[in-house]
Amino acid sequence: MAKTNRPPIVTILGHVDHGKTSLLDYIRKSSVASKEHGGITQHIGAYQLEHDKKLITFIDTPGHAAFEKMRSRGAKVADIAVLVVAVDDGIMPQTIEAIKHIQEAKVSMLVAVNKIDLPGINVKVQLEKIKKQLSDREILVEEYGGDVPIVPISAKTGEGVDKLLETILLLAEIHELTGDSNLPATGVVIEANLDKFKGPIATILVRNGTLKKGDQVVLGGIKSKIRGLFDFTGKAINEALPSSPVEVLGLEKVPAVCAVLGEEAKIVDKAQVISLIDRLRQADTTTLGLVIKADKQGSLEAIEESIQKFNTEAEHVKVISSSTGEINEADVKLAASTHAIVIGFNAKVTPAAVKLAENEHVLVRTYNIIYELIDELEEVVEGMLKVGALEEIFGTAQILAEFPYGKDQKIAGCKIIDGQFTKGPKVRLVRGEEMIGETKIKSLKRVKEEVTKVEKGMECGMMFEPVVDFRIGDIVQSFRTL
């Protein structure tokens, strides 16, 4: 073991227009950008700054929704949450929402009272009012005998920001945040996307251990090899230490935000989900029946409580039966007779039940993380209720060249990035964030031979009908919607 102190990881929450973004911008510009090459920060969702010769990591999340998503998935991301409150407004509805998220995430809180530079404001009076409002929410600041620091600041002028950073470092020292750089890396995805040049990329916040270039990793259940690491300034690095945000290249697929590094998570089986939706639509029903088995009663109660969100307007998910223990033949028979599916949480499936499920065409799904179970049910319910709500991507390609063909047509020279392409499904062309159009593949060739299918890693020529005005660099996706 080589435990050492690691930088605190900080997120900033608060009511809209109270200055969260302004505070992050001021900190970034004054403490980070001036030290970077060219003075430009690459936006990867997080960055680090140095204060009093100590590092602090800030997560630049898009707000409460992202924080709640991370928290609800059990992803331990931040160590300290800065609650921004405007001195003139005090506690507002989104402030209360932020307090709830911080308390449920069980992270240390620090209150930053912003806009103390506003003319005509009696800061002392307003501070006392805010302290009282916080105490009404069971948050006791230090002046009231509690352990929550409160720091007056101006994100506009920078007044009090140094004090805020000092307080963050003090909280980190009190909580003795440590990491072990000798361990394999663990962390959380905070941003991810498909780059038309780099392929699947993700920003990972390394919570502990060291992530190295060349490491074989499992990210959200997908095995990949790290082929490139870049810090928040865009500089190529060979390793990322605890509390470091890092952009990674070389992933097999785009991971979900909040995917955990090193966790063998179960990926939603799109083919199974789509097949189930097809069956439900054929049966002309908008209610999904469930036979639930779990390892213990507490798990059953948690699952059933989570399922209630699907039944706010109508009964879209119906629990036919719920009990503890392994999934057996009786469960499969019940599901078959009621046109339901069987879901298990930390529950084994007996060999006899597996065989019977195959014969009776009953879908049996097992999970060990509740949010994955709920996410998959959500996809099924959305697919049942709305045509086009669920989409299956068959393949993704990038156009590398174009060749004239005849009078008005061009052939797109493509490389398959992921999945496969055939002539049947629709395709769409995407340029940056904009969809250029939808069409179909009229001709699919490898070298000069017409082929029926091309797969990941292959190069091919595609001709589209109807014709679309594509360019080199455009992304082509083969897909279908339900």
CATH for the stretch 3-178: 3.40.50.300
Angstrom distance (rounded) from CA 415 to CA 361: 38
Q: Is the pLDDT of residue 274 over 80?
A: no
Q: What is the mean pLDDT of the chain?
A: 84
Q: Say if residue 466 is preceded by a cis peptide, omega within 30 of 0.
A: yes
Is pLDDT at 390 greater than 60 in this prediction?
Answer: no
The pLDDT assigned to 375 comes to 77
Q: Give the H or E element holding residue 413.
A: strand 409-422
Please tell me the class of the 270-385 domain. alpha beta
| pLDDT (tens digit per residue) in 226-254 | 999 999 888 999 999 999 999 999 888 88
CA distance 320 to 155: 55
Domain residue extents for the chain: 3-178, 181-261, 270-385, 391-481
In tens, the pLDDT along 45-95 reads: 788 999 989 999 998 754 545 555 554 444 468 899 999 999 999 999 888
CATH topology of domain 391-481: Elongation Factor Tu (Ef-tu); domain 3 (2.40.30)
Torsion of CA 61, 65, 71, 76, to 10 degrees: 0
Flag whether pLDDT at 211 surpasses 90.
yes
The confidence score (pLDDT) of residue 300 equals: 87
Host H or E run for residue 461 = strand 459-465
- Give the model's pLDDT for residue 314: 66
Q: Element (H or E) spanning 419, and its range? A: strand 409-422
Domains 181-261 and 391-481 share a fold: yes
Which amino acid, 477?
Q
Q: What is the pLDDT of residue 283?
A: 60
Residue pair 222/251 in contact (Cβ under 8 Å)? The answer is yes
Give CB contacts under 8 A, 24+ apart, made by 382-388: 383/273, 383/274, 383/277, 383/482, 384/277, 384/280, 384/281, 384/285, 384/286, 384/288, 384/316, 385/286, 385/316, 387/481, 387/482, 388/481, 388/482
DSSP 452: S
C-alpha span between 165 and 5 (Å, rounded): 17
- The structure's pTM equals 0.57
Q: Is the dihedral of CA 213, 219, 225, 228 positive or negative?
A: negative
Three-state DSSP at 70 gives: helix
- Of residues 210, 205, 195, 209, the one with CA closest to residue 250: 195
Who has greater pLDDT, 386 or 480? 480
pLDDT, tens digit, 9 for 90 and up, residues 101-158: 788 778 899 999 999 999 988 999 999 999 999 999 889 998 888 999 999 999 999 9
Report CA-CA distances (Å) from 375 to 29, 284, 307, 365, 372. 38, 23, 11, 13, 5
Band (290; pLDDT cuts 50, 70, 90): very high
Looking at CATH, the fold of the domain delimited by 181-261 is given as Elongation Factor Tu (Ef-tu); domain 3 (2.40.30)
Backbone angles phi, psi at 232, to 5 degrees: -70, -10
Q: Locate 154 and state its tokens.
A: 């101006």
- Residue 184 is encoded by which pair of tokens? 């394999």
Does 419 score more than 70 pLDDT? yes
